[in-house]
Structure 1
Amino acid sequence: MSEAHGTTLVRWPAEGPSDEALSALLAAYHLRTESEKGAPVADVEGLPSRYRAEVEAPRAAFAGDTVLVAMSAGTAAGCVVVTAPEAGRSEVKRLWTDPAFRGRGIASALLAAAFAHSAAAGATSVRLSVWSWREGAIALYQRLGFAVVTSWDERDELVCMERQLAP
C-alpha cells in the first residue's frame, strides 16, 4: 500500500499478518489503555468483554471495517481500524504502534493511509476519540489537521476530534 521508513502498510487480512499478530497488537493496545485508566489487568482474560472480543476474534469484530497494518521486516509494527463512511464520515480507532517501532512515522503513515482509504470510500471527514491523558496522540492528531469537536461519547475524559478530507 505505502511505506514509512522501511515499513510497509498493508490491508489486513488480505495482505496482512496472521490473525495472531493483529491480536497481539490489539491486546497490547487494550492492556495499555486499561492500565492508563487505572484499572490494570494481567492479561486478555481480564479485559472488558467488548475489547476481549476484538483480541480473540478480530475478523468478526472488524468484519465491516478496514484494518491497516504496518509491517516491518515481517513483523506487525502497528495498526489502525477504519470504519466505512456513514453520513459522509469515517472513524479511525485502535491506532497503535508497538513501542519497539515508535519514532519512525508509523502512526502518521497509518493515518495518512486511513485518510486516503476514507476519501476513496466517499467520506468527507474522519473522526476519532482519544483519552485526554494521551497528550502525545492528541498533539499528533492536531498536527495532522484534527480539531476537537463536541463529544459523541459520554465517557469521562474522552476527547472527540474530527478532520476534514480534501475533496
Structure 2
Amino acid sequence: MTDHREVSVVRWPGPTPLAVDEVAALLTAYHLRTEAEKGEPVADAAGLPDRYRAEIADPGTAFAGDAVLVALLGDAAVGCVVVTSPAHGQAEIKRLWTDPEFRGRGIASALLDASLAHAAEIGVDTVRLSVWKWRTGAIALYERLGFTVTRSWDERDQLVCMQRATGGGPVRR
C-alpha cells in the first residue's frame, strides 16, 4: 500500500510555481500513449489530432473554467487530471495520467481523491468519466473508488462510462 503523504496535489495554475511546460508534458504523454493504445501511434505531439495539440499548446485556454490538478512528488510534476466545470449537477474527470516511472505510488488515487473533493466543494452531485475498455487497471481503480458502469453518453466504440456520487468523501482502498 502506498503512502499518500509523499504525494501532493495542487491546482494549476495556482500558487505553486508549475510551468505550463510541465503540464503540457503530462498531457502530451497522456495523448501519445492513448493514440498508441488505440492502434494509431504517432511519433510526437505534432502528429496528434488538432484538439489534443490545442490542449498541449495552451492548457490554460483549453481547460479554462475547469480544474487542472497536478500531482507532485517533491518538485516533480508526475501526474495530472482535469475536472470539468459543472453542468446539470455533474462534472467529468478527464485526462487522468501518471508518469509510468512513478506508477504504483498512489498518485492516481491521490488525484482522484482530490478530484472528488474539488467536485464536492463546487456543489457537484455526480462525477462521471469515460475510460477505454482495455485500461483494465484504471477501471479496477475506479471501481475501488466507488465508480460504477453506467449507460454510455459517448458514441465512441470501446469506451466504458462510469459515474459516482460525490457524497461521503474519498474512498480509501
Asked if these proteins are the same fold (TM beyond 0.5), I'd say: yes
Deviation at 1:6, TM superposition (A): 1.2
Which residue does 2:160 correspond to in 1?
159
Q: Runs of 5+ in structure 1 lacking a partner?
A: none
Equivalenced residue count is 165
Alignment partners' CA distance in 2, 1:5 and 1:39: 37
CA-to-aligned-CA distance 1:86-126 (integer Å, 9 cap, x gap): 11111110000001111011101110111011011011110
Q: Counterpart of 1:113? A: 114
Instruction: Work out whether residues 84 and 92 of structure 2, in 8 Å CA contact, stay in contact via their aligned partners in 1.
Output: yes
Quote the Cα distance in structure 1 between the aligned partners of 2:101 and 2:15: 22
Q: Equivalent residues in 2 for 1:96-111 (5 A)?
A: 96-111=97-112
Query: 2:10 — aligned with what?
Result: 10
Q: Does 1:84 align with 2:85?
A: yes
Whole-Å separation in 1 of the counterparts to 2:129 and 2:15 = 25
Asked if the contact 2:7/2:110 (under 8 Å) is kept, the reply is: no
Deviations 1:7-50 (A, max 9, x none): 21111011341100000000000000000000000000000100
* Matched position secondary structure for 1:128: strand
Runs of 4+ in 1 over 6 A off after TM superposition: none
Q: Is the 8 A contact 1:5 1:104 kept in 2?
A: no
Deviations 1:36-88 (A, max 9, x none): 00000000000010011101110110011001101112110100000111111
Of the structure 1 ranges 13-22 and 54-63, higher mean CA displacement relative to structure 2 is found in 13-22
2:44 alignment partner AA: D
Aligned identity (percent) is 62
Q: Quote the Cα distance in structure 1 between the aligned partners of 2:166 and 2:77.
A: 27
- The Cα shift of 1:166 comes to 1.0
Consecutive unaligned residues of structure 2, counting only runs of 5 or more, are 169-173
1:5 Cα deviation from its structure 2 partner: 4.0
